[in-house]
Amino acid sequence: MARPTKANSYQLPANSSATSWYARRGKRLLDVALAAPALLLAAPLLLPVALALAVQNGGPWLFRQPRPGYQGRVFNFYKLQTMPDRHDASGQLLPDAARLPRLGRWVRATSLDELPQLWNVLSGELSLVGPRPLLVQYLPLYSPEQARRHTVRPGITGWAQVNGRNALSWEQKFAFDVWYVEHLSFWLDLRILGRTVARVLGARGIAAPGQATATAFTGTPASSSDFNSPS
């Protein structure tokens, strides 16, 4: 399996769309202009949902986890905690499917659990649109091509999310992410935001088939070919 190195993991071609004025300046302006009022409008809904989750979980309502962002830099990623920390008789954490109750499943299906990430956007760690930030332990598993997803700021939603989300294979997700990096633009971001609203209302692609959430990424075999993302 090809492993990226620190020297070549996060480089962009000179003519990449991710080096445009919009990518460097305009995208951040759009993020702040939309995220600030969205967080204010969401607050009346966020507070009672957080309280209900605190009751369900027996305390914690906010999930925080280190995630790699732009250029692989790690930040604290926030979500509503939809699953209580339940363990089996040996003290091992139960699988996601066994810990996701009805309320948590509904919060995930409506994507309300993503609302705290608006704070990540205002803090500059996330963008509204970009490749989803994944787990830190996945960093050494990316091929150099897949690692290009870290050449832009990660997002709450992205090209992979509106083209299948967790119903996609990992290779398909990463190919969609790289396609986004290569075609990043104001109009593409608006298109993704519009399609995100439609997908959230339809609650499609929330989980991988047969799973409560996504399966873990274990690396791509060197023999596997990249998935070609349609436009």
Residue 129 has pLDDT above 90, yes or no: yes
Who wins on pLDDT, 169 or 214? 169
C-alpha span between 206 and 106 (Å, rounded): 11
What dihedral angle (degrees, nearest 10) is formed by the CA atoms of 6, 17, 220, 154? 70
pLDDT bucket at 203, cuts 50 / 70 / 90:
low
Higher per-residue pLDDT: 69 or 203: 69
Please provide the size of the chain in residues: 231
pTM of the model: 0.83
Structure confidence at residue 80 (pLDDT): 94
Q: Looking at the predicted structure, is the pLDDT value of residue 161 above 50?
A: yes
Yes or no: say if 152 and 132 are a contact pair by the CB < 8 Å rule: no
8 A C-beta contact, residue 78 and residue 125: no
3-state secondary structure of 67: strand
pLDDT at 28 (0 to 100): 97
Contacts 24+ apart (CB under 8 A), 212-217: 212/95, 212/96, 212/97, 212/100, 212/105, 213/96, 213/100, 213/166, 214/166, 217/134, 217/135, 217/138, 217/141, 217/170
For the cut 50, the answer to whether the pLDDT of residue 73 exceeds it is yes
Per-residue model confidence (pLDDT) at position 19: 77
pLDDT tops 70 at residue 223: no
